[in-house]
């Protein structure tokens, strides 16, 4: 039994590291293909590295490692062992890839296109990195520490605040305020995509359903979708909490059980906790 458990953990780590390396590759390519040549500032330590290269022509990857080393030494007292190892892998991988792939020609030198597609690619890569529990160093380390204490805050918005400062200072040093505006577009897109990648599996729908046959409808939903149900018998209403992917199936079940039922659904962008636990808004059952 112990051997099976150890093998399962090993397989999980292998899958996570493979997922992490793909994220690192996408992150590095977003810098090389869209940001480096036109000095678009992505924020975090990578953004600082882009600024330093623009001013002094030092390699982005080397600067990225040099700045992150002291940050990691400080963070090692706060981060778990797994997160620390994954973060070191991320920093070394992204830095090596950015310098090794620097010979690739940019896909575009148009600032708007680079801002949009660079932000999308970086957002996907960064989301994959953060989703397995790693960080890219710099502001993501700070973001991880804040989220540990305040889990209701989405990390993408924490990164956006820190990166805004880096972009503003970098644009001032490069004396290009148009660059700041394009970099902010890039940052916003990256943050939105990043949050989508990280929290997509936690996105739910809360449905408020009124039905004269509420017990039958609620019973079918509970049996067929295994969703949380909160009954409000006095009003013949109930609340159903489901995955977003199950919404169409829920509609069919409700309509089949009671064609006169009324339903209002609300998107929930982030949630946590086991689906099997009771879910209530404080109203009587």
Q: 60-69, 104-113, 136-145, 189-198: lowest mean pLDDT where?
A: 136-145
User: Rounded to whole angstroms, how far apart are CA atoms 76 and 72?
Assistant: 6
* Neighbouring-strand partners of residue 267: 205
The sign of the CA dihedral 210, 276, 128, 22 is negative
Chain centroid, CA 259 distance in Å? 39
pLDDT band at 76 (very low <50, low <70, confident <90, very high): confident
DSSP secondary structure letters along 161-198: HHHHHHHHHHHHHHT-HHHHHHHHHHHHHHHHHHHHHH
Q: Is 277 left (phi over 0), alpha (psi -120 to 50) or beta?
A: beta
Which residue's entry shows tokens 């940052």?
187
Q: State mean pLDDT over 170-182.
A: 90
Q: Which of 87-96, 115-124, 219-228 has the lowest mean pLDDT?
A: 219-228
What the block records as the tokens of 152 is 């209701």
- CB of 41 closer than 8 Å to CB of 170: yes
Q: Give the pLDDT confidence score for residue 285 in this predicted structure.
A: 31
Average pLDDT of the chain is 82
CA 184 vs. chain centroid, Å, equals: 18
| pLDDT tier, 284 (very low <50, low <70, confident <90, very high otherwise) | very low
- From CA 68, how far away is CA 45, in angstroms rounded? 7
Regarding pTM above 0.95, the answer is no
Q: Which two tokens stand for residue 64?
A: 């990225």
- Does the pLDDT at position 13 exceed 70? yes
């Amino acid at each position: 039994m112990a051997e099976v458990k150890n093998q399962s953990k090993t397989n999980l780590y292998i899958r996570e590291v493979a997922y992490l390396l793909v994220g690192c590759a996408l992150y590095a390519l977003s810098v090389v293909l869209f940001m480096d040549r036109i000095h678009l500032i992505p924020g975090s330590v990578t953004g600082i590295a882009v600024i330093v290269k623009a001013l002094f022509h030092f390699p982005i990857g080397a600067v990225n490692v040099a700045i992150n080393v002291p940050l990691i030494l400080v963070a090692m007292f706060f981060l778990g062992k797994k997160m620390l190892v994954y973060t070191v892998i991320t920093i070394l991988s992204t830095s090596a890839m950015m310098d090794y792939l620097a010979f690739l020609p940019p896909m575009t030198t148009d600032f708007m296109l680079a801002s949009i597609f660079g932000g999308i690619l970086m957002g996907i890569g960064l989301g994959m990195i953060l989703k397995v529990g790693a960080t890219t160093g710099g502001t993501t380390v700070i973001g991880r520490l804040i989220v540990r204490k305040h889990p209701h805050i989405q990390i993408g918005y924490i990164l956006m605040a820190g990166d805004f400062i880096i972009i503003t200072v970098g644009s001032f040093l490069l004396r290009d305020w148009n660059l700041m505006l394009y970099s902010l577009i890039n940052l916003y897109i990256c943050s939105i995509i990043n949050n989508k990648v990280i929290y997509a599996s936690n996105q739910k729908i809360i449905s408020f359903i009124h039905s004269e046959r509420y017990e039958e409808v609620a019973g079918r939903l509970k049996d067929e979708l295994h969703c949380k149900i909160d009954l409000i018998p006095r009003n013949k209403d109930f609340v159903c909490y489901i995955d977003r992917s199950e919404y169409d199936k829920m509609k069919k079940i409700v309509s089949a059980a009671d064609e006169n039922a009324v339903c209002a659904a609300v998107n929930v962008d982030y949630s946590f906790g086991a689906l099997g636990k009771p879910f209530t808004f404080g109203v009587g059952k």
